[in-house]
Homo-oligomer: A and B are copies of this chain.
Amino acid sequence: MIEVALYLIPVGLSDAELSRVLPQHNIQVVREIKHFIVENVRSTRRFLKKCDRDIDIDTLTFYELNRHTRPDDIPAMLKPLSSGEAMGVISEAGCPAIADPGADVVAIAQSRGLKVIPLVGPSSILMGLMGSGFNGQSFAFLGYLPIDASQRARKFKEMEQRIVRESQTQIFIETPYRNNALVAELCRTMPPHIKLCIATNITGDGERIITRGVKQWLTMLPDLNKVPTIFLLYK
């Protein structure tokens, strides 16, 4: 029997076999949970079936938590946990509450003194950083960069300063259909002493994590249109 807690349950980032990216323990935890707070019900069902094809999905309750959820509806989702039943949080890819929904429900659980247990799983942020060769003693994840041109230029300048002055690796993502524009812009704008790591399809078939100077990238820009990618900058 598992502990009564809010389990944060990572899912894969790619089509890789679960045994490649998740500990066996996670599958055991999943099997014992009846109430799931999920970003997307359909993809969660698919994930649960991949964990164990014998899971009886019809006996489970799903609470949807995504950008369409009204904040006022979140606290009530934790009722089963408050009355002694383990719950799980599952996002669409990777680790819930990291660059994905989930943090708000965890915050409510914390404020009520409910136990929270994160499980191990793949994170493109962390795996990109490991593979980049950049500073892992000091780094920041910024999420999506601003779209507005002047705000974006300011953000680029700020990232450059934090790399130079604080030796802090800067990590960010972009809406996948804008990846190519972002890389071209970055490599043109950043000074030559800045390095860019492009990490694509992490844990997937075509995984590539490659670090080069920005001016070197300019001469060999890859096609990243709609490819799952994480970007890292350092000196």
Interfacial residues, chain A to chain B (CB-CB below 8 A): 8, 17-25, 95-100, 102-104, 106-111, 116-118, 120-123, 125-143, 168, 197, 202-203, 207, 209-212
A25 contacts which of B19, B130, B131 (Cβ < 8 Å)?
Answer: B19
CB distance from A163 to the nearest CB of B (A): 13
CB distance from A156 to the nearest CB of B (A): 15
A120 contacts which of B109, B120, B131, B207 (Cβ < 8 Å)?
Answer: B120
- Considering the complex, give the chain B residue whose CB is closest to the CB of A138: B143
Residue pair A138, B141 in contact (C-beta under 8 Å): yes
* 19 other A-B residue contacts (CB within 8 Å) besides A99-B136, A117-B209, A125-B126: A19-B24, A20-B25, A23-B23, A95-B130, A96-B130, A97-B130, A103-B136, A103-B137, A107-B133, A107-B134, A108-B133, A109-B133, A116-B131, A120-B203, A123-B126, A126-B126, A138-B140, A138-B141, A140-B141
- Considering the complex, give the chain B residue whose CB is closest to the CB of A197: B110
Residue pair B19, A107 in contact (C-beta under 8 Å): no
Residue in A120, A125, A126, A132 with the greatest tally of chain B CB atoms within 10 Å: A120
Report the copy number of this chain in the oligomer. Answer: 2
Residue pair B140, A110 in contact (C-beta under 8 Å): no
Could you list 12 A-B pairs, sorted by A, with CB under 8 Å? A20-B25, A23-B23, A98-B130, A99-B137, A103-B134, A107-B211, A116-B209, A117-B209, A118-B127, A118-B130, A125-B126, A140-B140
CB distance from A151 to the nearest CB of B (A): 13
CB distance from A86 to the nearest CB of B (A): 15
Q: Report B-chain residues with C-beta under 8 Å of the C-beta of A22.
A: 23, 120
